[in-house]
Every structure is written in structure tokens, then in C-alpha cells.
Structure 1
Amino acid sequence: MNRDTGESSSGAGAPAPWRIGVLFSRKGHMSIPEAEHFRGTALAVEEINLAGGVLGRPIEPVCYDPESSPELYRRYAERLLTEDGISTIFGCCASSTRKAILATVERRNALLWYPSLYEGFEYSPNVIYTGAAPNQNSLQLARYLFANYGRKFYLIGSDYIYPRESNRIMRDVVAREGGEVVAETYVPVVPHEDDLHRVVQDIRRKAPSVVFSTVVGDAAEELYRIYYEAGFDPRTLPIASLTMAEGEIQAVGSELCAGHITSAPYFSSVDTPESRRFVQSYRAHFGAGAPVTMYAEAAYFQIHVFAQALARARSLDTQRLVDAALGTEFDAPQGRIRIDPDNNHTYLWPRIGVANGKGSFDIVWEARDPIKPDPYLVDHVYDHG
């Protein structure tokens, strides 16, 4: 097989498939959101292949499970790009895993499609970023919290790059708006239960207006349980997050989470024809009770964007594929998105959702138009929409 074109080396028989790498965890502390990334990817690949593939050739995923481990991510990325002869990877959720494979992707001039929200302040010509940058979730969330809950913020995060950078941004916004950060604290990525109990006790002592959490994975679910057991009422003192989607809410227990807040481009309650079709198809494939989340949605639409770009590029050559992807638009479940030619990020639709106790979110605010990604917060303005 020719790595760049996907054409059969023998020229005989059926056309060779377009081979892509898929790196999302189904085990480990990030298994819930990453499994949703994986399922969204699988659904889109199936849709495209059932419709005839790309230029008459199917997409063939080569999948590994990195088990939420940056080291396994690094190892499997290297395997995909060398032994498997693949040049395009769909993968990563936590920034620690993206950072783990970025040097390998760049060194081998491959292309990573990254569907997770992240802390911003990054650009690579070898990455297409389809999750939210801070100006598409953090800034809108801060405005909503100021208007509805107050100006005393308690910041709690897992101890790695995404929470520390996200909290740095939130500190700046709170200070600029005349608010106060009453505490900023971190727990290990896989904390002991006692670490979370201490945080919840400190929240009671500091009496903030709102808790902004960048605790991720299994630890976030445990934090929400402990918070509930401590007697806090999320309707009056919510935990606000950028990461807690329907899957984690379901794992915690929907009734325990009523009132908590998430800022994201997509919730399963988005009422568009594309969203309704996506939810129906996703649950038909993965079960009637399967949570449909921002993680699944971004992974889903980026495969469709890739397929459009591939049809134009007619090649998996990284530069040709990137050139074809930039400016591409797609009617995603969240709304019409566009890959920004300025920075390889994506125009998205910021929304604020409040957990309703039924496993989904009531959308209490949404942008009128898609917001241009500003990963370096050049504008640092948050009164869009």
C-alpha cells in the first residue's frame, strides 16, 4: 500500500481502504469520556462506509486502547506511525496524552485530529483541534456564574496541565471582573478519597458562591458524590465544570447532580434536526440508555470533516489533507461548524447546561452564532453571543 494515497500496491482486486489510527481509552481513569470519543468515531466511520466510503474506498480504523496512560499513548502512536504505516490519527482526551504524542506526530509529519476541550495556548500545523478552546467555554461560564451565583470562586483541579492552565485563565477573568478567588487547590489525577473529603471540607469553610472544578475522570465523579453526601445543594452552590458531561452524570447518579453546571458546545438536549438524528442513531447503536455527550459529538463530526477533506485531497498526505480541511464546514449536531484556517481550531457553539436530575442538561444559555476559536485569548473578551 502507498501510505499517502491508500491505493493498492498490486493494482488488483478491490481498492485498498483509507487506513487511520484511533487512540482512545476504554480502560483507566478517563474511560468514560474516552469511550464516548471512541463510539462517536466508530459511528461516523460506519456511516461513511455504508454510504460508499470516500472516493469509493472504505475507511479502515486501526485501534489501540492506551488505558488512560500517557506512556501507552506515546507507544501506540509510535507504533501506528511506523509499524502500521499510518499517517492520520484520531485520538487523545486529556492534555497530558496529547502532549505525550505531539512530538512524535510532528517529527513524523503525521496529522492528529483532537476532539477534546483543552486549555488553549497551543498551535501545531500537525493538529486539527475540534474541541472547545477557552474562549468557547470558560469565558461564557464565568459570565453566567457572575450573573447568577456571585463573585467568590473556589477553584479545584486535578494536578496536571489542563486544570492549572484553565484555572489561570479563570483567575484572570475573576480578577478583571472584580471577583475573588477564595481558594485554588489541586488533587492527584487519581486521588485518595481523603484528598477529596479535605477539599469538600475546605469548601464549607471558605463559603464560596460557586465551585469551579477541573477535576477529571473518575476523580470528578467521586468529588460530586462526596459533595452531595456532605449536604451541599447544587441548586444554590453548584459545581461548575467544563468536562462533566452526561456520561459522568449518569455514573454519579443523575439525581445527585441536579443543579450542577457544565459549559460545552454540545449537550444531547440540543434541539436541532442533526442533533435529534445523531442521538437516535447513537442510541440505536450503543443502547437506549447510552449517554450522548460533547465527547461523542466532536469525535463524530471530525470524522465527517476528515472524509470531506480526504475527498478533496484524494490523499492521506498530511499537508494536502490539512490544506483541504482548513475552511471545511459541516452541519454537526451542535450546529454548523467550520475549521478555522487561521489556527487549525474550530468555530463552535458555546452553551451552558444545568443538570436536571434526569441524566441530561437543561440549556440555560447558548450563543446566537458559532464563536471563532481564539486559543491564545488574544481578544480576552467574553461578551460574545
Structure 2
Amino acid sequence: MGHTDYSTIVNKIKTAKPDVVFNTLNGDSNVAFFKQLKDAGITSEDITVCSVSVAEEEIRGIGAENIKGHLVSWNYYQTTDTPENKEFVEKYKAKYGSDRVTDDPIEAAYIAVHLWAEAVKKAGSFEVKKVKEASKGLEFKAPEGLVRIEGENQHLWKPVRIGEVQEDGLIKEIWSTSEAVRPDPYLKTYDWAKDLSDQ
């Protein structure tokens, strides 16, 4: 976070010429990284960067001209094609301005409030233990599609999407799972990870 000099990393990328760069940078570090990448003459046509922490709001800060054509991975984009999302985007822009964008973190917060409210109603209580128990298996038709709370770990079943940054700063979905994916934050269902928890 907050790192601004990527000249060494950009030079390494330029020398290695990888097929793709998997980017886990966060926040304003992405602004410096993508600007320096472009200044070094590297575009998405040369080397594609796939980011897991760049959404529509970050694209505004980076500048669409500096990141267009690169890929991102989220569960939701402003352009996600569901009736719930059309309504969500319209209401969001009506409240915060037509020039504003929605993004995955915004939609995730929206989902969280709705699921919490449903769990409280079901529990008939604000008591954390009761709400947590009531939340198991709750579903919500979110702007991204149907999501469900996994009772075992309190994470959400969600679709996975890969998108390409467009010239207008929005993200065009180019791939998605056909249904929501079961959350496995502790890697319990992966054979390759079975010994990790013992360390």
C-alpha cells in the first residue's frame, strides 16, 4: 500500500516478457504501477495484467487510458446483466450522481446489509450468536446474481467473473462461472492444501 516506484518491477516485466502478470496490488499503488507500465511502452496488447483489486472506482483513479484492455477478476461489475443490477445502478446513480460508478466492494456492502437484516428478522434478535446461526443458508438475489451464506464459514457462495477494462472505464465481462462457487477460505476442499493447516 502506498508504494509509488515500480521502475524495477516494470523493467523485470519488460525483460521477462511473461504471458500475463497476476497483480495483487491494492489502492493507490495501482495508479503508479499502471501509469509506469504504460510509460515503459507496455500495453495490454504486449503483456496482459490480471488484477484482483482493481474495480471501476480504481479505474477512475488510474485513468482508463492507462489500463484499458487489461483484465480484472471480481464477482460483480457495473455492467453485470441482471434485472436486479439495472435497478441497483439506476438507484445508485440517482442518489450519488450520474457520473459515479458502482463496483464490487460497493455491491458487497449492499449485500451484507440485506443479508444481516434478513438474519436478524429470522433470529428475532440482535444477539450475535442467534444472528450468526440464523444466517446459515440465507439467500439473497443480489445485483450480481443469487448469493448464499455458507453456514460452515460465514462466507458467500458467489459467481466468479473475469472482465476486460474498456476505454470508457467500465468492465466488460468476458468469462464467468455458470453458477455461484462454494466459498472455501481455509482451503479445506483442496488436496494440495491439506497439509497447510498443520504448519
**TM-score normalized by the length of structure 2:** 0.92
Checking the alignment, whether the CA contact within 8 Å between 2:17 and 2:47 is kept in structure 1 is: no
Structure whose alpha-carbon radius of gyration is higher: 1
Which of 21, 32, 56 is equivalent to 1:246? 56
Structure 1, residues 303-355: CA drift from partner, whole Å, max 9, x if none?
A: 00111111122221110110111111000000000000121111001000010
Aligned to 1:227: 37
| 2:72 match: secondary structure | strand
In 2: Cα distance, 1:300 partner to 1:235 partner: 35
Task: Report % sequence identity.
Answer: 32
Which of 288, 306, 325 is equivalent to 2:135? 325
Checking the alignment, whether the CA contact within 8 Å between 1:256 and 1:357 is kept in structure 2 is: no
Over the aligned positions, Cα root-mean-square deviation in angstroms equals 1.3
Aligned to 1:190: 2
Gaps of at least 5 residues in structure 2 are 192-199
In 2: Cα distance, 1:379 partner to 1:323 partner: 23
Aligned to 1:315: 125
In 1: Cα distance, 2:190 partner to 2:63 partner: 36
Gaps of at least 5 residues in structure 1 are 1-188
**TM-score normalized by the length of structure 1:** 0.48
Structure 1, residues 219-246: CA drift from partner, whole Å, max 9, x if none?
A: 1111111111111111341211111000
| 1:244 match: secondary structure | coil
In 1: Cα distance, 2:32 partner to 2:95 partner: 29
Aligned to 1:336: 146
Aligned to 2:180: 370
Which of 6, 16, 20 is equivalent to 1:210? 20
1:293-312 map, 5 Å: 293-312=103-122
In 1: Cα distance, 2:101 partner to 2:46 partner: 26
In 2: Cα distance, 1:376 partner to 1:190 partner: 28
Aligned to 1:356: 166
In 1: Cα distance, 2:46 partner to 2:189 partner: 32
Checking the alignment, whether the CA contact within 8 Å between 1:245 and 1:294 is kept in structure 2 is: yes
In 2: Cα distance, 1:329 partner to 1:336 partner: 7
Structure 1, residues 169-196: CA drift from partner, whole Å, max 9, x if none?
A: xxxxxxxxxxxxxxxxxxxx222x3x31
Aligned to 1:347: 157
The alpha carbon displacement at 1:380 in A equals: 3.4
In 1: Cα distance, 2:149 partner to 2:106 partner: 18
In 1: Cα distance, 2:142 partner to 2:89 partner: 12
Checking the alignment, whether the CA contact within 8 Å between 2:30 and 2:62 is kept in structure 1 is: no
Checking the alignment, whether the CA contact within 8 Å between 1:346 and 1:373 is kept in structure 2 is: yes
The alpha carbon displacement at 1:377 in A equals: 2.2
In 2: Cα distance, 1:255 partner to 1:380 partner: 39
Aligned to 2:91: 281
| 1:363 match: secondary structure | strand
Q: Which amino acid aligns with 1:306?
A: W
Aligned to 2:69: 259
Checking the alignment, whether the CA contact within 8 Å between 1:349 and 1:369 is kept in structure 2 is: yes
In 2: Cα distance, 1:236 partner to 1:205 partner: 12
